[in-house]
Structure 1
Amino acid sequence: MKPQVRSARNGVLIAGPVGLGAPGSSLIETERRHGACNYEPLPVVMTHGEGVWLWDEHGRRYLDMLSAYSAVSHGHAHPR
């Protein structure tokens, strides 16, 4: 089942179908072949994050809602 993405009124993508471009597709395939496979990855390539926000390779912004996992405790790219 493919994840669905919904768009909020303020333009923040929180969950509508994720369209992948060629660059992301090849990176996702590389992850599938060589990654640790600890969990099923999302079909999206994140390029950077700041605080609770992440951006994908197409410039779409996402709210990171994976509570208590990895960088969520401290946020992404803390200025200190």
Structure 2
Amino acid sequence: MSDLTLDQAIENIYTSINNDNEDLDSHIAALKAAMAREGVKQAVFEPSKLVQPNRQGRKIMQSYFRKKGVAVSFSA
């Protein structure tokens, strides 16, 4: 796995989510590694870039990512 920046890892997750969650778990693992390298405790996503930007969609995303060991928040 190549060393992605945090921004690249987040962009890959947006792409994966828009492609029916294709390879999402591997992208989450890459995000987790990028967060560790950069010392970031929480990944911040823009709700407008999500397929399901409503509250329910955000909560499902947070729950799934939490199970994978990644804390997620959303920009305003």
TM-score, normalisation: structure 1 = 0.27
Greater C-alpha radius of gyration: 1
Larger strand proportion, structure 1 or 2? 1
Larger helix percent:
2
Q: Report the TM-score when normalising by structure 2.
A: 0.28
